[in-house]
Amino acid sequence: MKLEVHERLALLPLLPAEGDYAALKVIRRAKEMISFTQEEVDFYEIKTVPGADGRPQMQWSTAKAAEAIKDVPVDEYIVNLIRDKLSDLNKRHKLTEQYMSVYDKFVVAYR
């Protein structure tokens, strides 16, 4: 699945931190695939900066992000975890703008 920088950053916190052994192995592999290598961090110029509210936020070069969109292999188990989490956020009216494009990819348009 082709994922942009902001989508990859939005997906990482959606993946659970606990579960059974088999699930955690699959989740860890997914996190490794979605996360950024040091080369990608340097290429996209990703850095953490203080936001307007004082909390840290991620910043990157949008020009470079448009040049290279990563094709991330995401298995059905991970797709279902992400879809369930996004659907739950939507149902509880807790979906935020940062999740709009991943909601479109994982819930609305996913086949």
The dihedral sign for the CA sequence 63, 36, 90, 107 = positive
Q: Three-class SS string for 64-109?
A: HHHHCCEECCCCHHHHHHHHHHHHHHHHCCCCCHHHHHHHHHHHHC
Q: pLDDT tens digits for 24-83?
A: 999 999 999 999 999 999 999 999 999 889 999 999 999 999 999 999 999 999 999 999
- Shortest CA distance to 23 belongs to which of 64, 78, 96? 78
Whether the Cβ atoms of residue 69 and residue 77 lie closer than 8 Å to each other: no
Whether the Cβ atoms of residue 17 and residue 85 lie closer than 8 Å to each other: no
Q: pLDDT tens digits for 38-48?
A: 999 999 999 99
